[in-house]
Amino acid sequence: MTAMTLARFTELASAYGARPERWPEDERAAALALLEGSPDARARLAEASRLDALLDGVPAVTPSPDLAARVLAAAPRRASVHRLPAPRPAQTRWLAPAALGMAAAAGLAVWLVRTPPQPTPLAADAVAQLGVFDVPTDDFLSALDLELDDDTPSFGCDDPTVGCPDADAEPARRSERSAGRKEISA
């Protein structure tokens, strides 16, 4: 225990008053030890005690009787969390089935709009009407007086110096395959 000086004792009494329980705990024993043998310390204590008495004469304000009830009225209450929901007013009860029906209709509309149309499978006779297009470009080229076997297509080329055939000349030949195809399609 560190010895206490009168100066420090005076500071303690000036700040905390005369009651040892209000003094800092770690200095209390030393202050009490000084008080035992020091008349000056006792005089400081008496002075502080007079001010304590004046301060103690001012009574504390006590809460009004209803304050605790008001404070607790705003306090959380677990029971309210689990309370059953109150029944709905009668005039709104028809809203529930109506809302359910509207929700179902809306869901159906969304499904119809968002589902892609499924392709209809072709019937067998429809496939037959399309014919067999194993060399489908022949007829197209012959309609333009072009030959599939020509090295340089005359379509869009009219300069003989670069190898374009004379577009106005009579076709030199027709492929037998093309002629045969025309007969088939006819």
Q: Which residues here bind another protein, judged by CB under 8 A?
A: 11, 14-17, 21-22, 24-25, 47-48, 50-55, 57-64, 67-68, 70-72, 74-81
Buried/exposed code over 105-137 (b: 16+ C-beta within 10 A; e: otherwise)? eeeeeeeeeeeeeeeeeeeeeeeeeeeeeeeee
Minimum Å gap between C-beta 6 and another protein is: 16
Structure tokens at 22: 């209000």
- Residue 32 beta carbon to another protein: minimum distance, rounded to whole angstroms: 17
Min dist CB 17 to another protein, Å, is: 6
Would you say 27 or 138 has its CB closer to another protein? 27
Judged by beta carbon, residue 62 or residue 91, the one nearer another protein is 62
> Distance (Å, rounded) from C-alpha 106 to C-alpha 103?
5
10 Å Cβ neighbour count for 23?
20
Which residue number, 76 or 119, has a Cβ lying nearer to another protein?
Answer: 76
**Burial of residue 29 (number of CB atoms within 10 Å: 0-12, 13-18, 19+):** middle
CB of 84 to another protein, least distance (A): 17
Our CB check for another protein shows the closer of 36 and 66 to be 66
Neighbouring C-beta atoms of residue 10, cutoff 10 Å:
17
